[in-house]
Amino acid sequence: MMDYGKIIDAIYRDLNTWERTGKVADYIPALAQVDPQHFGISVQLLTGESFHIGDTLKPFSIQSISKVFTLAMVFHHLGEDLWKSVGREPSGTPFNSLIQLEQEAGIPRNPMINAGALVVTDRLLDDWKNPKEELLSFVRCVSGNPSLSYDFGVANSELANSDRNRALAHFMKSYGNIHNDVNDLMDVYCHQCSLQMNTRDLAKSFQFLVNRGVNPWTGNELLTLSQAKRLGAVLMTCGFYDESGDFAFRVGMPGKSGVGGGVVAYIPNVLSIAVWSPALNPHGNSTLGIEALERFTTLIGNSVF
């Protein structure tokens, strides 16, 4: 049996001595306050065992990682029709870029960039009565933690600084690809990004993907087997924006990052791993988080390849 505890211990000890290169997200003022020294790693096995080192109990804002949960809800609900309004190609552009939208008639490249995630959240507003409450119950259910919540300070800070996301939404609305009022959409989107989790919650919340669509905590099917495959493929090719190729190359797992400094990745049928380190590289992905994951798949000698 692989000694995952010993492996993450060694990674943590070495990387914790590194200078934190990069900077915390400061375009959302509430995130600029976060101490860049935080560092934690959690591994969750499908067998139920888990391993933790560092700051694994302190909650942080999961930001774009929330896009995975809204995508799972909406994809399961709409099925293949979803791909009429959002693509599944890597964009090669930053997460908040507007540049492709005009050429591609308001259809975002994929659901992991902000434009695509806004379309997905818009569909949540279409068909769910109380999207914020229902998203919260989904994440509580997949993480097995009934006390997870939004960070209203972060949500309000982002709402007050959402000009870029509003621009994306209005532009897509002009093509008919956003159905709801942009203020209502921003409210749900900024709340979803403010979801607070620690690395333990985060690693657990990806177990339904490790388990290929079935929530291991409840036995409920959240995605069909085919949808779990498709969602994993989208994470592998688009989860790190214009750094997705490099992440796949270095780490070899599907995963997702957020500008709160969280990174989570998984190997189907085996494990999920979450890392938190708030200092971000120029692509908006956690510098130490990616380094830790690269070392992890190297040391365990396993990945999806």
Would you state the structure tokens that stand for residue 88, as one six-digit string? 């599944």
With binding defined as CB under 6 A, does residue 208 bind ligand GLN?
Answer: no
Out of 111, 252, 258, 261, name the contact with ligand GLN by CB under 6 A: 258
With binding defined as CB under 6 A, does residue 95 bind ligand GLN?
Answer: yes
Tell me the C-alpha to C-alpha distance, in Å, between residue 154 and each of 117, 128, 150, 260.
Answer: 18, 24, 8, 10
Nearer to ligand GLN, 213 or 260 (CB): 260
With binding defined as CB under 6 A, does residue 196 bind ligand GLN?
Answer: no
Shortest distance, position 67 Cβ to ligand GLN, whole Å: 8
27 is catalytic: no
| CA pair distance 298, 301, nearest whole angstrom | 5
64 is catalytic: yes
With binding defined as CB under 6 A, does residue 222 bind ligand GLN?
Answer: no
Tell me the C-alpha to C-alpha distance, in Å, between residue 148 and each of 110, 151, 226, 247.
Answer: 27, 10, 29, 28
Out of 158, 187, 242, 243, name the contact with ligand GLN by CB under 6 A: 158
With binding defined as CB under 6 A, does residue 116 bind ligand GLN?
Answer: no
The three-point CA angle 187-85-286 to 5° equals: 60
Q: Which of 12, 42, 66, 67 is catalytic?
A: 67
| CA pair distance 121, 141, nearest whole angstrom | 19
CB 287 within 8 A of CB 269: no
Q: Which of 4, 12, 241, 266 is catalytic?
A: 241
Q: Which of 24, 34, 43, 64 is catalytic?
A: 64
Shortest distance, position 243 Cβ to ligand GLN, whole Å: 11
Shortest distance, position 259 Cβ to ligand GLN, whole Å: 4
With binding defined as CB under 6 A, does residue 199 bind ligand GLN?
Answer: no
H helix runs in the chain, sequence order: 4-15, 29-32, 66-78, 99-103, 114-127, 131-143, 152-159, 163-174, 182-193, 199-205, 207-210, 225-238, 244-250, 287-300
Q: State the binding string over 50-69 for ligand GLN (x if CB under 6 A, else -).
A: -------------xx-----
259 is catalytic: yes
12 is catalytic: no
Out of 36, 59, 87, 284, name the contact with ligand GLN by CB under 6 A: 284
With binding defined as CB under 6 A, does residue 114 bind ligand GLN?
Answer: yes
Q: Which of 189, 256, 266, 286 is catalytic?
A: 189
Would you state the structure tokens that stand for residue 298, as one six-digit string? 């190297």
With binding defined as CB under 6 A, does residue 165 bind ligand GLN?
Answer: yes
Region at 215 (left for phi over 0; alpha for psi -120 to 50; beta for the rest): beta
Residue 304: count of CB within 10 angstroms of its CB: 16
Beta-bridge partner residues of 276: 40, 262
Region at 34 (left for phi over 0; alpha for psi -120 to 50; beta for the rest): beta
Positions in 5-44 near ligand GLN (CB under 6 A): none
CB 265 within 8 A of CB 43: no
241 is catalytic: yes
Nearer to ligand GLN, 151 or 294 (CB): 151
Q: Looking at the annotation, which residues are catalytic? A: 64, 67, 189, 241, 259
Give the binding site for ligand GLN (CB under 6 A).
Answer: 63-64, 95-96, 114, 158, 165, 193, 258-259, 284
